[in-house]
Structure 1
Amino acid sequence: MTTRIPEPALSEAARPSDPRKMRKIAVASVIGTTVEWYDLFVFGTASALVFDKIFFPQLDGTVGTILAFLTFASAYLARMVGAVVFGHFGDRIGRKSMLLTSLMMMGIATFAIGLVPDYNTIGVAAPFLLLALRVVQGLALGGEWGGAVLMTVEHAPADRRGFFGSTVQIGVPIGTLLANGVFLLVAWQTSSAELHSWGWRIPFLLSAVLVCVGIYIRLNIEETSTFQAVREAGAKARIPFVALMRRYWRQVLLGGIATLSTGSTFTLLITSGVNYGTDELGHSESLMLWAVMAACAIAFVLIPFFGHLSDRFGRKPVIYAGVAAEAFLAFPFFWLLDTGSAPLVFVAYALMAVAFSANYGPIATFLAELFGARVRYSGLSVAYMLSGLLGSAATPAITLWLLSLTGNSSSIAWYILAASAASLIALFLLSETRFGSISEDGGVGEGEGDAASVSASASVSVTANAEARV
């Protein structure tokens, strides 16, 4: 006979009582996540602007760009593997150690990309080296994001989980802002020939500085009390991924689809939109990079705001509004871009950034609250990386293929609309999590409400044969 192991609650009282300590935890997660996303998105910017000419020069322009984007997409396959592997050890060993490991992996891979010789130097080995390092980046991010979210959400007071979970999310716009800002600065200081010769390497090599800062910050944060309760009670799952899929497969699948539109929309803004604006409409690279940076600045401000709103009104209403706004703006976004007016390009990016922020702000906390503590690292990571695989990975190549096939930007708008519709349906099928608690049988939303929450020490009841259960 096996033993059912109750899950520790996210809302138990064992939280940092000192606001300064909570701020320190949030800042550490934001800085580390910013570094990870900078490393990931600097590759996306390079894919849109220079990689087709550097690593695929023998191919037709469109084909070369598609291959560059497919190399970009390869990281998303690796992210799924990273989510399973890091999720396993994050649920078995702890959140903090996995965060440090993933950050070091990402930093080494990104720095090495800046040293890869181009196609003209070593031939076909160049794109293969690029692909291998991109896969390492994906593995690292697959483990980093979930751990960073849990370091804040599992430490946060119950009535502020949405806000603190959203602070991790601002690492995306900050990382993108830095990546595009560095590229813009390099492009400004170099000629086109110099940019394609050596200038593109600078943003990758600079990541070493950011990684060192991130590691230093993360060395000084504590493991979460929720995981400590699981460890002290001997309640860790033997094989977290197997336990996750036995008990939470529905949450994993629907959570991934519910998050699909965030990845599709953001990838549209930072990669596909840049490529469309420069190659199809003739806008300058600097204009499109400035538009991306403006959108990221808006998201930086609004993501925590919408996270806060989710603490007041629930996760789903805020996410619903964001996804619906993304769908509504799919066609107007391209209408504005197609005018050829630089100011209207900024308007298009600003409007979509607002919609994206409403969607993206609460989603990290929402996903975390779907799973019990024993498999939360695995569940959160796999669900989110599934959304990246379904949405972000394919978006650049699919949108470029649709554009080459139809010659009309409306085909891309329909793609974004379809992704939004899928997310709305999946979100509808999931329970609200803000007003629930983790019961003995699962994650937030399956219990009777916050009053039903129990402390971690009381909720983990384990008998001698507990570890016989996966």
Structure 2
Amino acid sequence: MALASSTLSAPHSNPKAARSDEDLAPGDIAVGVVIGRASEYFDFFVFGIASVLVFPQVFFPFADRLTGTLYAFLIFALAFVVRPVGTLIGMSIQRHFGRSTKLTAALFLLGCSTVGMGLLPGYAEAGSAAIWALALCRVGQGLALGGSWDGLPSLLALNAPPHRRGWYAMLGQLGAPLGFIVASSVFLYVFSSLAPADFLSWGWRFPFYTAFAINVVALFARLRLVVTHEYEKRMEEHELDPANLRELLPAQGHHIVVGAFAALASYALFHLVTVFPLSWIALYGDQGIEDFMKMELLGAFFGAAAMPMSGLIADKIGRRSYLGTLAVAIGVFALFAPVMLGGGKPGQAAFILVGFVLLGLSYGQAAGSVTSNFLPHFRYTGAALTADMAWLLGAAFAPVVALFLSSRFGLVSLSLYLLSGVVGTLMALRVNKKLQAAAVVQD
């Protein structure tokens, strides 16, 4: 796969080579983005589902089910805490050894960390050492995800036609519902096919083993793109190389903060319609886990279908206006969330389906909404750190905070949590508008 082809000696010998960079680049880059992101999301969703169905019994049997799930969610958050560190380490590797070496090391670490979780003994066999090993593997996932930043989303946005940037921005986010669909399907199959004792003994390990094969496929798909001369040339043209943090932060560090908060509503919603509802149903629901997981799968398909719509609409009204509108819609959803999630099967189905549609519409445009604010030579690093901070602020602790508060004070806490994300997004978009206006005046 290549971004473009150059045939100086025989310009007409290959019809594909005769096509321009603009014709080839967006589609080729999009394939790498979707495959790469889907594999990463698969690894993370496998951990999230296991945090509800497996880890409380296997790694925290000494605690009650609620407390064990909260412990598992705390370990779940570790990956997002260390992700910025992984980004900086990865960029250091890239400076010294190249982009392909960094990507190979990161995805190898991601696959090994995920598979390693499936090999761990439980608390009954290893005691607290099993918990520390699980946390270490989770840290490995987070470092790997930060290190796997390849700049493809930024390059995709820059090479997309101006009137279709919302559409191409959506393609990178499409990996989220795809990863969730595959992870949930594998877990649902294993969970429904085995007796509870067999599932907790060995069946739960199978989805973690599957991750390695998926990561190998994703690695080759992405390397096939990033090692090409055309890709490197495009990256150099747009100055998409690691920037010195000591130069970036004083000059444009505020754009990282604004960008992270601009996506806050969508990122907060992300785990509150994927991981948290499963924990609530497992602990307090009156319907079976299998039925609810099937409903979540259906919701993920709805979310995947909504993402292309986000690209079409955003290209018509503008991405920032679109994000503000969706933030308000998420706020309305937050007001009714307690009634739906606490309203039995019909209400829970409505919560999942509506929630996933809103997630698809909002998350499809959440990443990189202010990436263009960065100067060209800061854009590669700035975009990566903005995404890291958005995950940390919006999504990392969402399951544990929502479950803890809801178990103590009721599902109204879920509304307040989501509304705080909505307020953060609207304020950040307003600040960003003022920053852009000030920049225009200075120019």
Interval containing the TM-score (normalised by the shorter chain):
0.7 to 0.9
Give the letter aligned to residue 245 of structure 2: F
> What corresponds to 1:246 in structure 2?
250
Residue 11 of structure 1 corresponds to none
Partner of 2:14: none
Cα deviation digits, residues 399-446 of structure 1 (max 9, x gap): 12112321x11122111111211111112211399xx9xxxxxxx995
Aligned CA distance change for structure 1 residues 225 and 321 (closer, same or farther; 3 Å):
farther
Contact in 1 for aligned 2:54/2:200 (Cα 8 Å): yes
Q: Distance in 2 between matches of 1:333 and 1:419?
A: 14
Deviation at 1:17, TM superposition (A): 2.7
For structure 1, the 5+ residue unaligned runs are: 1-13, 437-443, 453-470
Equivalent in 121, 124, 131 of residue 125 of structure 2: 121
Q: How many angstroms apart in 1 are the aligned matches of 2:250 and 2:98?
A: 22
For residues 61 and 387 of structure 1, do their structure 2 counterparts lie closer, same or farther at Cα, with a shift above 3 Å needed? same
The 5-angstrom pairing of residues 239-278 of structure 1 reads 240-278=244-282
1:180-191 alignment to 2 at 5 Å? 180-191=184-195
CA contact (8 A) 2:83 2:143 kept: yes
Residues 69-78 or 58-67, more deviating: 58-67
**C-alpha distance after superposition, 1:48-73 (max 9, x if no partner):** 22111111111122221111000000
Change (3 A) 1:162 1:329: same
Q: Is the 8 A contact 2:268 2:394 kept in 1?
A: yes
Q: Distance in 2 between matches of 1:377 and 1:346?
A: 40
Offset at 1:157? Answer: 2.9
CA gap 1:125/1:400 in 2 versus in 1, 3 angstroms? same
* Offset, 1:204: 0.5
Paired residues of 1:95 and 1:147 also in contact (CA < 8 A): no
Cα gap change, 1:94/1:375 in structure 2, threshold over 3 Å: closer, same or farther? farther
1:357 is aligned to 360
1:16 aligns with 2:18: no
- Return the offset for 1:288: 2.3
Query: In the alignment, what sits opposite 1:393?
Result: 396
Aligned 8 A contact 2:66 2:283 in 1: no
Distance in 2 of aligned mates of 1:100 and 1:161? 29
Give the 3-state SS of the residue equivalent to 1:312 in structure 2: helix
State TM-score, norm by structure 1: 0.83
Q: Pick one of 328, 331, 340 that aligns with 2:332.
A: 328
Q: After superposition, give the CA deviation of every residue in 1:266-304 in whole Å (9 maximum; x if it has no partner).
A: 111111111112211232111221222222211212213
| Structure 2 residue 310 is the aligned partner of structure 1 residue 302 | no
Q: Which residue of 2 aligns with 1:26?
A: 30
Matched AA of 2:412: S
Q: Residues 341 and 347 of structure 2 are in contact (CA less than 8 Å); yes or no, is this contact kept in structure 1? A: yes
* Counterpart residue identity of residue 418, structure 2: I
How far apart are 1:144 and its partner, in Å? 3.0
Say if 2:164 is the partner of 1:160: yes
Q: Is 1:137 matched with 2:145? A: no
Amino acid at match of 1:227: M
| Superposed counterparts of 1:31-46, under 5 Å | 31-46=35-50
Identity %: 29
Q: Structure 1: how far apart are the matches of 2:221 and 2:111?
A: 15
Q: 1:109 to 1:432 in 2, by over 3 A?
A: farther
Between the aligned partners of 1:229 and 1:93, the Cα distance in structure 2 is 20
Deviation at 1:91, TM superposition (A): 7.6
Deviation >4 Å, runs of 4+ = 87-97, 444-448
Match of 2:426 among 411, 414, 424: 424
User: How far apart are 1:334 and its partner, in Å?
Assistant: 2.6
Contact 2:80 / 2:142 at 8 angstroms: preserved in 1? yes
Q: Which moves more between the two structures, 110-119 or 141-150?
A: 141-150
Query: Equivalent residue for 1:411?
Result: 413
Report the AA paired with residue 313 of structure 2: L
CA 1:377/1:301 → structure 2, altered by over 3 Å: closer, same or farther? same
8 A Cα contact 2:368 2:383, kept in partner: no
- The question of whether the paired residues in 1 share the 8 Å contact of 2:70 and 2:400 is answered with yes
Ranked by relative contact order (alpha carbons within 8 Å, sequence separation 6 or more), the top structure is 1
Aligned counterpart for 2:68 among listed residues 61, 64, 70 = 64
Provide closer, same or farther for how the CA distance between residues 91 and 298 of structure 1 changes in structure 2, counting only shifts above 3 A. Answer: farther
Aligned length in residues? 420
CA drift of 1:364 comes to: 2.1
Are 1:15 and 1:155, in contact at CA under 8 Å, matched by a contact in 2? no
Amino acid at match of 2:426: L
Normalising by the residue count of structure 2, what TM-score does the alignment of the two structures yield? 0.88
- Between the aligned partners of 2:159 and 2:56, the Cα distance in structure 1 is 44
| CA offsets 1:215-249 (integer angstroms, 9 cap, x no match) | 12112214254422266xxx967x52222211112
Matched position secondary structure for 2:21: coil
- Cα shift at 1:93: 7.2
Tell me the CA shift for residue 312 of structure 1: 2.5
Amino acid at match of 1:72: F
Distance 2:103 2:95 in 1: 12
Q: Which one-letter code corresponds to 1:351 in the other structure?
A: V
Paired residue secondary structure (1:270): coil
Give the superposition deviation at 1:75.
0.6
Superposition deviation, residue 360 in structure 1: 1.3
Structure 1 range deviating more: 152-161 or 348-357: 152-161
Quick one: distance in 1 between partners of 2:359 and 2:415? 15
The 1:90/1:148 distance shift into structure 2, 3 A limit, reads farther
| Map of 1:458 onto structure 2 | none
* Range moving further from structure 2, 219-228 or 422-431: 219-228
1:371 matched residue in structure 2: 374
Structure 2 matches for 1:193-208, cutoff 5 A?
193-208=197-212
TM-superposition CA deviations, 1:78-125 (whole Å, max 9, x none) = 112123333555688766554443222211211111111111111111
Question: How many angstroms apart in 1 are the aligned matches of 2:292 and 2:99?
Answer: 37
Residues 35 and 214 in structure 1, CA contact (< 8 A), matched pair in contact too: yes
Summarize the alignment of residues 215-254 of structure 1 with structure 2, pairs less than 5 Å apart: 215-221=219-225, 222=228, 223=231, 225-229=233-237, 240-254=244-258
Q: Which residue of 2 aligns with 1:440?
A: none
User: How many Å separate the matches in 2 of 1:166 and 1:102?
Assistant: 24
Q: Is the 8 A contact 2:337 2:351 kept in 1?
A: yes
State the alpha-carbon separation in 1 of the partners of residues 82 and 95 from structure 2: 19
**1:274-293 matches, cutoff 5 A:** 274-293=278-297
Cα distance in 2 for partners of 1:142, 1:354 equals 27
Question: Structure 2 regions of 5+ residues with no counterpart?
Answer: 1-18
Shift in alpha-carbon separation, 1:446–1:308, aligned structure 2, 3 A: farther
Matched position secondary structure for 1:18? helix
